[in-house]
Amino acid sequence: MRNPMVAGNWKMHKTGEEAREFLSAVKESVKGETVEAVLCAPFTALPPLREALGRSHASIKLGAQNMHWEEKGAYTGEISPLMLQELEVDYVILGHSERRAYFHETDAEIEKKVFSAFAHGLTPILCVGETLAEREKGETEQVISRQLQGLKNFPKEKISSLVIAYEPVWAIGTGKTASAEEAARVIGWIRRQIFTLVSEEVSREVRILYGGSVNAENIDQFMAEEEIDGALVGGASLKPESFVKMVEIAGRRKGR
């Protein structure tokens, strides 16, 4: 049974103080939920979030949005897995399309990051997805297949904890979503790739989220799809009330 997840990717939003305010607004409402609620905050907001959350809150987890694969070195401006370990984050988003597009991250680099995250006890949320041009050329599967090639090399004992987020680039921040059926179709296809590249068992265990203009009004249609294990949400995760609402809706559909 896959544990459903609603993860907020705050991107470059919220100071430490704003993050604290957000947390105090959502903390109690999210407590009894049976879905995992994850806050992927900017690095500087993670320590105040961890402090305010403590370790005892069962339903809210913390995540980072990127990291370098090396533990230390001359990499100005980067953050290492050891530094994230120290912040006690559970998850790290890797290969987000904004990292791929604006910071030219390659599949090979993202693969090294996923390895390193696993080696340091962090669970990667690996993002994949096609651009509009690629979709229009009918290349969706080909692009995602390339982005998933690292799967066959990842450590066998860790890989079932991996979270994959299918985020079609044309749906991110645009207000346009893939239809729930289309998102479920691509996610089903990703699961079959995992079957082929890794094993049937792992393909049944890996959680696959949909991301791209998800909000409190449309999340239910995605959660209604058997194939979709949750959502990675940008803009709509910034407001406490819409975050709580999305967690509640996901919990009603998928919670245990």
Cβ–Cβ < 8 Å for 180, 154: no
**How far from chain centre, in Å, is Cα 116?**
17
162 is written with which tokens? 């991996």
69 is written with which tokens? 């694969």
**Contacts of ligand 13P in 1-30 (CB under 6 A):** 9
Q: Does 167 bind ligand 13P (CB under 6 A)?
A: yes
**Contacts of ligand 13P in 71-100 (CB under 6 A):** 96
Kindly tell me which of 5 and 202 has the beta carbon lying closer to ligand 13P.
5
Give min distance, CB of 14 to ligand 13P, in A.
Answer: 14
Q: Does 134 bind ligand 13P (CB under 6 A)?
A: no
Helix (H, G, I), strand (E, B) or coil at 9: strand
Give min distance, CB of 73 to ligand 13P, in A.
Answer: 27
Q: Does 235 bind ligand 13P (CB under 6 A)?
A: yes
DSSP label of 169: G
Kindly tell me which of 128 and 194 has the beta carbon lying closer to ligand 13P.
128
Q: Does 155 bind ligand 13P (CB under 6 A)?
A: no
Give min distance, CB of 56 to ligand 13P, in A.
Answer: 27
Using Cβ positions, the residue closest to ligand 13P within the complex turns out to be: 234
Active site residue 167: yes
DSSP string, 16-71: HHHHHHHHHHHHHHHTT-SSEEEEE--GGGHHHHHHHH-S--SSEEEEES---SSS
Cβ–Cβ < 8 Å for 140, 134: yes
Q: What is the maximum span of the chain, computed from C-alpha positions, in angstroms?
A: 48
Q: Out of 98, 134, 167, 248, which one is annotated catalytic?
A: 167
Q: Does 168 bind ligand 13P (CB under 6 A)?
A: no
Q: Does 111 bind ligand 13P (CB under 6 A)?
A: no
Kindly tell me which of 32 and 173 has the beta carbon lying closer to ligand 13P.
173
Q: Report CA Rg, the chain.
A: 17
**CA–CA separation, 149 vs 196, rounded Å?**
11
Active site residue 71: no
Kindly tell me which of 70 and 225 has the beta carbon lying closer to ligand 13P.
225
Q: How far is CA 150 from CA 68, 84, 110, 159, in A?
A: 17, 22, 9, 11
**Contacts of ligand 13P in 176-215 (CB under 6 A):** 211-214
- 95, 124, 129, 234: which one contacts ligand 13P (CB under 6 A)? 234
> Active-site residue numbers?
96, 167
Residues contributing to the site for ligand 13P (CB under 6 A):
9, 96, 167, 172-173, 211-214, 232-236
